[in-house]
Amino acid sequence: MAAQCVTKVELSIACTNLLDKDVGSKSDPLCVLLQNTSGQWYEVDRTERIKNSLNPKFSKKFLIDYYFELVQKLKFGIYDIDNKTFDLSDDDFLGEFECTLGQIVSSKTLTKPLVLKNGKPAGRGSIMITAEEVKDNRVVVLEVEARKLDNKDFFGKSDPYLEFHKQTGDGSWVMVHRTEVIKNNLNPVWRPFKISLNSLCYSDMDKSIKVECYDYDSDGSHDLIGSFQTTMSKLKEASRSSPIEFECINEKKRQKKKNYKNSGIVSVKHCEVIVECTFLDYIMGGCQLNFTVGIDFTGSNGDPRSPDSLHYLSPNGVNEYLTAIWSVGMVIQDYDTDKMFPAFGFGAQIPPSFQVSHEFPINFNPSNPFCNGIQGIVDAYRACLPQVKLYGPTNFSPIINHVARFAAAATQQQTASQYFILLIITDGVITDLDQTRTAIVNASKLPMSIIIVGVGGADFDAMEFLDGDNGVLRSSLGEPAVRDIVQFVPFRKFHNSPKEALAQCVLAEVPQQVVNYFSTYKLQPPNTPAA
């Protein structure tokens, strides 16, 4: 199995004196965390963007597995975000800092100057990284609303949001959660949110929690409406039939006004403590990852006998298809006990009748399409190649729907027992885009993820579109995917990288996708660990 994770570490990020890249206002910073594996940097996560601030304290924490025996190289990049694209290359770079996770945990709080790409100082900008070991996987679910808040705006009404702060050992307050802003409303109802019990109060039910209500201003000068203090013990009494209510007090206003009562009422309608499983909780609790491969045998790959073909086997017996199967399969096979993997082809004319098929077992055994281990897939592929005629069109939906049928059957078990990963390797010219979109939207409700590796030099715009990073994918009828389950990478990005790099990139999102699916449907591992 994977190297044992020693513990989970939560990293809090704050910056001071950032470069100001915005004319007429201040930078709108975001922090991205990258991890170095085999010489390649991969994005792990990113914080929220904070508007108009050169001294941001980010509310979103980075949760990272800490391995004592590995040198885990990390890079923190700060960007000024002025657009809606996911890609950071079109945003202003404000500086970065590289270190190892070991350096952070041994310091507990590390404060270092930010540098530019050329290694020179990023002005007077610095980053402060604080590490905390996470020993508790309990999570608090809160539903909060307010009424009769003070109006702080001259035109229109206040734009309120809440900040939750916990008290540290030295008595200072640390912000741990910020709600969304609700525009123009003195009686806001915020979206339900989750926060780890450790983040909120160090898992101490009687530790003080400070809640501040602000009126949001686009120039960054947010006005305090009022605040109150409470504890988890008090919040836990809340229920929808009898909410717990707090007077929002603005001390400055109270001292000035004789008949001051409050600046509004904040009402906690629901507060529940739940235990959230981690990816390793599911894996160690008996969840199997089922791996299926789909291989593109369409004519656009070129004649396999020609050295120009993407299916051409080099003298040492490899090509990009096989390299992708090896790279991804070698990681996933550790999580599947029987190591029997179904492998399918699509877009070829197959013997004996040479009808075109969009989901044929590459071992030509429909009743048993399983290959024994990753080597079994490789052997079946090599044996299949000379027997089929590459044809077309390039249809993804039959194979996606095939795996989805098994994933749907697994949902009958009512536990987090099985999760399906489909690896599609393709030269990229997809024909049935509408049917594929619909198939992916349907699959997003099931325990499955889809990895697409694009081989060759084609234009992969359609693939990038299926990977929901730039917004929610919708079916041809407009139904949105309930979660992002597609990860696309072009193989050419990894030509000069170590063989582990491709797998680490395409599998990076899988653990979170597994956790998101099972926690959304409140499914526990078959062998639930002691809480």
Q: Among 41-45, 192-196, 342-346, 461-465, where is mean pLDDT lowest?
A: 461-465
Amino acid at the residue 84: K
Locate 441 and state its tokens: 């939207």
Please give the domain boundaries of the chain with CATH numbers for all domains: 7-134 (2.60.40.150), 138-275 (2.60.40.150), 280-521 (3.40.50.410)
DSSP state of 390: E
Decide: helix, strand or coil at residue 144.
strand
Helices (H), 411-509: 433-443, 461-466, 499-507
Measure the CA–CA gap between 10 and 292, rounded to whole angstroms. 34
Measure the CA–CA gap between 361 and 294, rounded to whole angstroms. 9
Q: What is the torsional sign of CA 43, 44, 48, 50?
A: negative
Measure the CA–CA gap between 71 and 59, rounded to whole angstroms. 27
Pairing of the two strands 265-275 and 209-215: unpaired
DSSP state string for 176-243: EEEPPP-TT-SS-BPPPEEEEHHHHHTT-TTS-EEEEEEE--TTS-PEEEEEEEE-HHHHTT--SSS-
Record the pTM: 0.65
pLDDT value at residue 21? 87
The per-residue pLDDT for range 111-149, each reduced to its tens digit, is: 999 999 999 999 999 999 998 877 778 899 999 999 999
Nearby residues of 355 by Cβ (< 8 Å), 6 or more positions away: 349
Q: Span 489-494, mean pLDDT?
A: 88
Locate 43 and state its tokens: 């994005």
pLDDT value at residue 308? 93
Kindly list the distances between the CA atom of residue 406 and the CA atoms of 241, 287, 292, 409, 438, in Å, as whole numbers in the listed order.
Answer: 42, 15, 11, 5, 17
Q: What percent of the chain has pLDDT over 90?
A: 67
Residue 174's nearest CA partner among 407, 14, 390 is 14
pLDDT value at residue 7? 67
Decide: helix, strand or coil at residue 30.
strand
Strongest mean pLDDT among 27-41, 84-98, 178-192: 178-192
Q: Among 301-305, 332-336, 339-343, where is mean pLDDT lowest?
A: 332-336
Measure the CA–CA gap between 22 and 81, rounded to whole angstroms. 10
pLDDT at 531 over 50: no
Measure the CA–CA gap between 455 and 426, rounded to whole angstroms. 6
Q: Span 163-187, mean pLDDT?
A: 94
